[in-house]
Structure formats: C-alpha cells, structure tokens
Amino acid sequence: MRLESRLLREVGEHPLPARMRVAQRRRRGRPRAEYRAHVRSVRDVAALRRHRIPAYLLTPEAVSEAGYPVSFRPWLLLPERLASQVTSEFRILPVRDEEALATGPGLPELVTFLLRFDPLAARVIASRNRAVLNKDELYRRVRNEHMERQATKVRLQDFCRSLPRVGESLPAEELRWIERNSEMPARVG
C-alpha cells in the first residue's frame, strides 16, 4: 500500500506560475484542478515556498558555509508525500520529516540530510560545529528520518550520545584523520 498526495488548487487561490504547472487529467466530478509542479531553477523553488509547499534546494554553497567545502549537483528536498507530484531538473531527495523543511534547514537538519549521500561530510560538519550543534534536535531529526545506521557508521554518537547504535562503525582513527585532513573553507570578511 502506498500513500499519495496531490497538489490541488482551491477556488480563488493563486496558482503556481504557468511555467511551473503541468496539468493532470481532471477526474470526473472534481471541482479543483490537479497539477504537477515542474521545478527548473532556484526561482521555482522560491515560488513553491511562497505557495506553502515546503521545499529546499540543498546546494554545495550551503554545505561549504557550514564548514565543509564540497561540490555536488544540487538536491531538491521535498516532503516524501509530495515527491511524486514534482518533477525537476534537480535530483529529488524525499524527506520524511516535513517540519524540517518548513523554515529552511538548520545545522542538525543539514547533518541529517547529508547522511543520505555523503555521511563523511555530515561527520566533519558536526565536528566543526560541535559548539553550536543542538544535540536534542540532531537526535530528533536522525530518528525521524530513520538514519540511525548511517549515523552509527560515521560515529555521530560522539556528538549526540543519546543516538542509538545500529550496525557497524568506521574506525575512529580513520574518521579523525578525515576530519584533520579535510580542507577548511576560506572565511570571507
């Protein structure tokens, strides 16, 4: 069984810009227009947010600002229930915890999202931001996204002791070597 969500426009509601809407076939007896959103640019992501659709574009710049310079193709983060209703030029990363996207991800959310595709970057960012990392929020986000195994692999328990250990961890000495030898971002100003 699969739960699906749909994007519907209510009567009197301002629609997404025409360049972003792809109309779906209208079902008989349905007064509302059903559509899919097509995201091509950063501006389109901002339009989704203006229309109360929690979306966030995770870029290499956001990760570099947090303390780990890296390059990758941007990821469009969308709630899991809406991921099938949006097509995009960006890679889509479904997120279980919709609340994490509501205001734009902070440090705990960033670490949790990075666990999906670059767990070593998540470890380095947690290490470099240890003083300001909200441990309770990190615990909550990792648990809500079911990322305990990935967190254990890179030993995030070093920063949040309450995280459960699931599976095997990489050797601590290797992780410390990666932290020491990863490039520090240049500070501006």
The whole-number average pLDDT for the span 139-160 is 93
- Whether 9 shows a pLDDT value over 80: the answer reads no
- Whole-angstrom distance, CA of residue 94 vs CA of residue 155: 24
**pLDDT at residue 184, as a whole number:** 67
Provide the H-helix boundaries in the chain. Answer: 42-50, 60-65, 99-102, 107-117, 119-128, 135-144, 148-153, 172-181
The whole-number average pLDDT for the span 152-157 is 93
Residue at 26 is within a domain: no
Residue at 75 is within a domain: yes
**pLDDT at residue 34, as a whole number:** 66
The whole-number average pLDDT for the span 141-153 is 94
| Phi/psi at 77 (5° precision) | -90, 125
* 67: region left, alpha or beta (phi > 0 left; psi from -120 to 50 alpha): left
Residue type, 47: A
The whole-number average pLDDT for the span 164-179 is 88
Residue at 19 is within a domain: no
**pLDDT at residue 188, as a whole number:** 41
Closest CA to 48 of 10, 79, 11, 94: 79
- Whole-angstrom distance, CA of residue 13 vs CA of residue 1: 32
Which residues are registered as beta bridge partners of 34?
Answer: 8
pLDDT band of 37, cuts 50, 70, 90: confident
Six-digit token pair at 135?
């441990």
The mean pLDDT of the chain is 83
Report how many domains make up the chain: 1
Six-digit token pair at 155?
């030993």
Residue at 108 is within a domain: yes
**pLDDT at residue 76, as a whole number:** 94
**pLDDT at residue 146, as a whole number:** 93
Domain that holds residue 99: 37-181
**pLDDT at residue 31, as a whole number:** 53
Min mean pLDDT across 12-26, 122-136, 156-170 is at: 12-26
pLDDT band of 24, cuts 50, 70, 90: low
Residue at 17 is within a domain: no
Residue 165 DSSP SS3? coil
Residue at 80 is within a domain: yes
Residue at 23 is within a domain: no
Q: CA dist 57 to 66, 76, 161, 186, Å? A: 15, 5, 30, 23
Q: Are 45 and 62 in contact (CB under 8 A)?
A: no
